[in-house]
């Protein structure tokens, strides 16, 4: 398996623009997680899905952020409109329910909002 795949790897956009980050989890994993990492706040869990259903979105910072998982092999994290304070590295991770502690992280998307 290729592991968790994220795209794009880097994104530079202007304030006010819509940003869509994409993730393909490892096949067979039924949990998917979105994290954000900054120097100031460290690694934060934004939202996670189980069998394509959002379970906990308490970490989503505000209504500008939304996440979807239309099927078992694809998820998106959308920011609309984007702001400079959204600049961070966004990670997607997946895990198999029987091994809940072992999450597999993707390479991340480095987002810069100017």
Partner 1 sequence: LAKTTQPISMDSYEGQEVNITCSHNNIATNDYITWYQQFPSQGPRFIIQGYKTKVTNEVASLFIPADRKSSTLSLPRVSLSDTAVYYCLVDGGGYNKLIFGAGTRLAVHP
Q: Based on the shown chain and the rule CB under 8 A, indicate whether residue 102 belongs to the binding site for partner 1.
A: yes
- Report in angstroms how near the CB of residue 31 gets to partner 1 at its nearest: 5
Only segment of 12-20, 39-47, 71-79, 80-88 that touches partner 1 (CB under 8 A): 39-47
SS (H, E, C) the chain: CCCCEEECCEEEECCCCCEEEEEECCCCCCEEEEEEEECCCEEEEEEEEECCEEEECCCCCCCCEEEEEEECCEEEEEECCCCHHHCEEEEEEEECHHHCCCCEECCCEEEEEC
The number of beta carbons lying within 10 Å of the beta carbon of residue 96 is 14
Q: Based on the shown chain and the rule CB under 8 A, indicate whether residue 54 belongs to the binding site for partner 1.
A: no
Q: Based on the shown chain and the rule CB under 8 A, indicate whether residue 1 belongs to the binding site for partner 1.
A: no
Q: Based on the shown chain and the rule CB under 8 A, indicate whether residue 25 belongs to the binding site for partner 1.
A: no
Interacting residue with partner 1 among 26, 31, 36, 67 (CB under 8 A): 31
Cβ proximity of 33 and 52 under 8 Å: no
Only segment of 19-27, 28-36, 68-76, 80-88 that touches partner 1 (CB under 8 A): 28-36
- Residues within the interface to partner 1 (CB under 8 A): 4, 31, 33, 35, 42-45, 48, 50, 56, 91, 93, 95, 97, 100-108
């Amino acid at each position: 398996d290729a592991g968790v795949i994220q795209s794009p790897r880097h994104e530079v956009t202007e304030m006010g623009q819509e940003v869509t980050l994409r993730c393909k989890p490892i096949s067979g994993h039924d949990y998917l997680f979105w994290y954000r990492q900054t120097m100031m706040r460290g690694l934060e869990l934004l939202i996670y899905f189980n069998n394509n259903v959002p379970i906990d979105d308490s970490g989503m910072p505000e209504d500008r952020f939304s996440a979807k998982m239309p099927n078992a092999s694809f998820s998106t994290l959308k920011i609309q409109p984007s702001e400079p304070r959204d600049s961070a590295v966004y990670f997607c991770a997946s895990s198999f329910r029987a091994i809940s502690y072992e999450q597999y992280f993707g390479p991340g998307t480095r987002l810069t909002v100017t």
